[in-house]
Structure 1
Amino acid sequence: MSYRIKTHGRIGAELQRVADEEIAAAQVLLQSLDRAGATEAIHDARKHFKKLRALVQLLREPLGAKGVHAEQIFYRDAGREFQRLRDAQAQTATLETLAERFFETKRPPIVIAARRVLAMEEQRARRMLAKEGGCDAVLDGLRAARLRAADWKLDDYRWKELRTALHRGYRRAREAWRHARDEPKPRALHDWRRRTKDLLYHVSLCHSLAPDFMEELAGELEVLGEFLGDDHDLVVLRDLLERHPRDVPAGDTRAAFFEMVALRREELLDAAFDLAGRVFLESPGEFIEALDERRDEHRQRRKKAQRIAERLVMPV
């Protein structure tokens, strides 16, 4: 299974196929949650939900704004059923990465205390997930979502509609970057990260438009998303530790630890803004014009390659 479509001919049918595959993959992961490692299964299932949210964004014309919004709300809420557990797992990795960066050998007591807090959070999140039956509810919802996707009317969805959707996705990501650049607060940064991830999924999905161009752009967006994701995890880690004053008491030690978090955030955001200045250099109109050119060039090369191949198999 691959999160890619054929970008010629019946593009609507291709989007429908990928949506069905993504829903089915999420179902398999959640059905195996008790047997497989919850950490990886939940991470992968949430990734499928994010891919589906991004895919649905491309369907504003056939589904309508309300239809797209309803689908996105469903996949957002499905992911949130596992967010507390996923956050605790992600923060453990974030804490360890931070400790490795600033402490070569022995970890200070505050890092050890933070580990205990995160371990307690993960245990609490696991109990809540099992108690509330969130996984079963999501599986029921996915069965209905799969039926809805099969009923989408996408016969007339072709390059014109996809081109408009890609223009919109790039514009939203670029606007979110500029907003975050002007006001780099957690909310703006979170929105920028989300829009960047959506655009990454759009570019990955449409790889066949111009493979070399899209692959290079996807690589830049992936790195940008990692910078912003690591920054987001640090914000969540700090917020979590502030909610546990008994385990991580206020004082010079905690203040120093939070300064270290702030220093690492500065490094990540500097790198993110530098990279974004290159990724979003073009206006939305310029971006889509460049994409048109790359698409036409790729189509011409494919036709030429086909003609050469035909000559090679002709009888002498």
Structure 2
Amino acid sequence: MSLQLKRSEDFSKGIVRMIDEEIAKAHDMLKGNPAQNRHETIHELRKIFKELRAIFRLIRDEIGEHEFKQENIFYRDLGRQVSEIRDRTAVIETVEQLRAQYGDEFNGHVFKPLIDYQLHERQKLEDEYIKNDVPGYLQSQLHNKLKEQRSWTLSVKAFDQIAPSLKRVYKRGLNSLKIAMISQATEDLHEWRKRVKYLRYQIDTLSRIWPGILGSLEDELHDLSDLLGFDHDLSIIQKQISDMLVVFEDPVDKALVVTIIEHYRSQMQKHAFIKGQNCYYEKPSVFIDRIHAYWSNYEKKMSDSELVKKENLEY
């Protein structure tokens, strides 16, 4: 993630600068010939849109509900323009990972029907993507966003101004974890993953202010998101097979792939729940108190630094 607050930079100015830089980064990705690295570009675009939505959740209470909804819906809708292709690519990568792991143990051709189906379906999505000039549309929308006059301002001087937003995201992730652990339903696991991602991006943003303090939590949330993402991709493949969208010539191959997926999902969920409880081990109020302590410590360091600078100038 490229977002980074400059050392001793005002929080509000830093957040606004980070937002502008991410918008500009997404816009520049679509210049020239985006077809050269289409799937890498799509992946990065979707990631940026999610990061921006997480940041706006962090400053939600400060910019106001109306402005938050406008920004959130804007980047949500842009993300939807590339989500289907990215989801299909993620599934392809998951199948390739299975083939790499089990290719020697089992004949690698058992995964071929899955790969062929995903590639065929993704190509149809790509054809529509090009036909509808989605890259041009995205670039135009981002260009307008860079040029428009903001309807909101930001002036965060105290942690209490972002605490409710951060607490809300953490609490929703904790609740989603509890629900998913009880139900173990695919839709609940997917909902939990979305909550994990929002918290991860918010913690990553704050980690740019306090390097080395929150980085370990961001890493844990990143790993957790990956585990849940892999499980979600496997659930998609599982449904494709059960709906007979993927055709296996040999029923033995089909049974083997289904068994592998069921085993893998069981392992992914087991590890995700363990890691999830490590990430969400605190009550929301305790979690916020801990982050507040980092904020206070940072403010003191900056204040001491400014005092030393002033004394040196006077000397």
Report the TM range for the smaller structure's normalisation.
0.7 to 0.9
Aligned to 1:288: 288
Bigger shift: residues 11-20 or 29-38: 29-38
- 1:149-298 map, 5 Å: 150-155=150-155, 158-243=158-243, 245=245, 247-248=247-248, 251-298=251-298
Alpha-carbon distance in structure 2 between the residues aligned to 1:38 and 1:189: 29
Counterpart amino acid of 2:112? I
Distance 1:162 1:109, change over 3 A: same
Change (3 A) 1:62 1:289: closer
The answer (yes or no) to whether the contact 2:227–2:268 under 8 Å persists in 1 is yes
**TM-score normalised over the length of structure 2:** 0.88
State the alpha-carbon separation in 2 of the partners of residues 204 and 108 from structure 1. Answer: 39
In 2: Cα distance, 1:223 partner to 1:313 partner: 47
Deviation at 1:298, TM superposition (A): 4.2
Which residue is equivalent to 1:64?
64
Deviation at 1:78, TM superposition (A): 1.2
Q: CA deviation at 1:172?
A: 1.6
**Where do 5+ consecutive residues of structure 2 fail to align?**
none
Shift of 1:18: 1.1
Deviation (angstroms), 1:212 = 2.5
Aligned-partner residue type, residue 269 of structure 2 = L
Counterpart contact for 1:30–1:45, Cα < 8 Å: no
**Aligned partner of residue 64 in structure 2, secondary structure:** helix
Distance 2:177 2:34 in 1: 40
1: CA distance between counterparts of 2:206 and 2:156?
18
User: 1:19 & 1:271 partners in 2: Cα distance?
Assistant: 34
- State the alpha-carbon separation in 2 of the partners of residues 153 and 42 from structure 1: 30
Structure 1 residues 68 and 278 mapped into 2: Cα distance closer, same or farther (>3 Å)?
same
Aligned-partner Cα distance in 2 for 1:210–1:280: 20
Q: How does 1:33-182 map to 2 (within 5 A)?
A: 33-104=33-104, 107-147=107-147, 150-155=150-155, 158-182=158-182
User: Is contact 1:62-1:154 (8 Å) kept?
Assistant: yes
**Structure 2 residue matching 1:31: 3-state secondary structure:** coil
1:217 CA drift (Å): 0.9
Is the CA contact 2:4–2:18 (under 8 Å) kept in the aligned structure 1? yes
RMSD between aligned residues: 2.9
Deviation at 1:85, TM superposition (A): 1.8
The change in CA–CA distance for 1:225 and 1:14 in structure 2 (over 3 A counts) is same
Deviates more, 1:66-75 or 1:181-190: 66-75
Partner of 2:14: 14
* CA contact 2:53–2:72 (8 Å) conserved in 1: yes
8 Å CA contact 2:5, 2:209 repeated in 1? no
Percent identical pairs in the alignment equals 24
Gap change, CA 1:66 and 1:312, over 3 Å in 2: closer
Shift in CA distance, 259/69, structure 1 to aligned 2, threshold 3 Å? farther
Amino acid at match of 1:218: E
Q: Is the 8 A contact 2:23 2:146 kept in 1?
A: yes
Contact 2:3 2:18 in 1 (8 A): yes
TM-score by length of 1: 0.87
More deviation, 190-199/24-33: 24-33
Query: Structure 2 CA distance, aligned partners of 1:228 and 1:281?
Result: 18
Query: In 1, Cα distance between the equivalents of 2:264 and 2:84?
Result: 24
Shift of residue 244, structure 1, vs aligned partner: 5.0
Offset of residue 183 of structure 1 = 1.5
Count of aligned residue pairs for this structure pair: 315
The answer to whether the 8 Å contact 1:8/1:159 transfers is no
Which of structure 1's runs of 4+ aligned residues deviate more than 4 A? 6-10, 241-244, 298-315
Superposed displacement of residue 122, structure 1: 2.1
Aligned equivalents of 1:241, 1:33: Cα separation in 2 = 36
Q: Is the 8 A contact 1:167 1:285 kept in 2?
A: yes
The one-letter amino acid paired with 2:234 is: L
Structure 2 distance, partners of 1:296, 1:56, is: 22
Higher mean displacement: 52-61 or 1-10: 1-10
Per-residue CA deviation, residues 172-227 of structure 1 (Å, 9 max, x unaligned), is 21111111112221111111111111101101111145333211111111111111
Aligned equivalents of 1:82, 1:210: Cα separation in 2: 33
For structure 1, which runs of at least 5 residues remain unmatched after alignment?
Answer: none
1:312 to 1:270, Cα distance in 2 relative to 1, 3 A: farther
Q: 1:99 to 1:253 in 2, by over 3 A?
A: same
Does the 8 A contact of 1:177 with 1:192 survive in 2?
Answer: yes
Q: Deviations over 1:87-121 (max 9, x none)?
A: 22222210011122233266343311211112212
* Offset from partner CA, 1:21-74 (integer Å, 9 cap, x none): 111111111234535310111111111111111111123223333432332222
